[in-house]
Amino acid sequence: MALPEDFAAQCLYDPRAWFIHDLLSVDREARSVTALVDTTRLGDLVDAQIELPGHPKHLPGAVCVQLTGTLASLLAAYVLDMPRSEGWVGFGTHIHQAAFPSMGKIGPAVHAEATVISRRIFRGTTFLRYRYHFTQDERVVYRAEHSAAWLQAPADVEPDLT
């Protein structure tokens, strides 16, 4: 299925940095989303890779990390009821236990899954921990847990990050 029509208004990134091309599922009960990544449409980071013997163009780790932010925006807006249009902004704080068990190839699609595994609210800040699992041709190409802090501020107020 296509990404929601209003996602550009809800995401914390411009569409050039989404790296997600289709939304496969949104599961509010499981607090998860799954999306499809077309690895032939990743842009500059792949285009800039120098192909050498033993070093083919591949799914960059930086794209995987950026994908986690896009998935977190999907979770915030459509699973956790924390949309950007209501003043919600999030900032990654930690990457835990990250691994790239297999090199992601250019060509086959990547299935990217994100699940919220914990949520706490402290002094007006919502702290989330996510589990990410990216596969390509049934091989895991990225897995990790990340943490982020989410704040809700009026549209005309800069969030206090101190």
Domain annotation covers residue 160: no
Domain annotation covers residue 159: no
Domain annotation covers residue 119: yes
Q: Is the pLDDT of residue 142 over 90?
A: yes
Both structure tokens of 74: 């999907």
Both structure tokens of 159: 């969030």
Give me the domain span that covers residue 82: 7-152
The runs of H, that is alpha helices, within the chain are 7-10, 44-47, 61-78
- DSSP one-letter code for 84: G
pTM: 0.91
Residue with tokens 């802090």, as numbered in its chain: 149
Domain annotation covers residue 111: yes
What is the edge-to-edge ordering of all strands in the sheet holding 110-122?
22-27, 32-37, 110-122, 125-136, 139-152, 88-99
In whole angstroms, give the CA distance from residue 90 to residue 13: 11
In whole angstroms, give the CA distance from residue 39 to residue 7: 21
Domain annotation covers residue 82: yes
Domain annotation covers residue 28: yes
Mean per-residue pLDDT, 78-99: 94
- Phi first, then psi: what are they for 152, rounded to 5°? -115, 120
In whole angstroms, give the CA distance from residue 41 to residue 146: 25
Domain annotation covers residue 115: yes
How large a percentage of the chain has pLDDT more than 90?
A: 83
Domain annotation covers residue 161: no
Give the pLDDT confidence of 109-135 residue by residue, as tens digits.
999 999 999 999 999 999 999 999 999
Number of domains in the chain: 1
How many CB atoms within 10 Å of residue 144?
A: 19
CATH code of residue 115: 3.10.129.10
